Amino acid sequence: MTFPEGFLWGGALAANQCEGAYLEDGKGLSQQDVMPQGVRGPVTDQPTPDNLKLIGTDFYHRYREDIALMAEMGFKVFRFSIAWSRIYPRGDEAEPNEVGLAFMTG
């Protein structure tokens, strides 16, 4: 069994698991920031040190290196989710957070 000609190998990540930088450049808090054990644990009033998602894999600061590693592995496509709390920190803004948009658009 083989993959068809032109098959696109790629990678993906979820912003809440990988991005980190949970309070940088105007990002607002998200549900994930106050759910240190995910859906199985309690919601906290504020982010807590046991919430590994606050740092993730630090994609926010290392995305160039991470994407270069994917290219080195031969990946041709990359899918990532958007942390809307980085674009609209409170969720009711008329205009988006320009720094958050700049991160999403590279």
Structure confidence at residue 88 (pLDDT): 97
Structure confidence at residue 106 (pLDDT): 73
Structure confidence at residue 60 (pLDDT): 96
Structure confidence at residue 26 (pLDDT): 96
Structure confidence at residue 76 (pLDDT): 94
Structure confidence at residue 24 (pLDDT): 95
Per-residue exposure over 44-68, b if at least 16 CB sit within 10 Å of its own CB, e if not = eeebeeebebbebeebbeebeebbe
- Give which of 96, 94, 76 is closest to 85, Cα–Cα: 96
Confidence (pTM): 0.86
Task: Flag residues of the chain having pLDDT under 70.
Answer: none
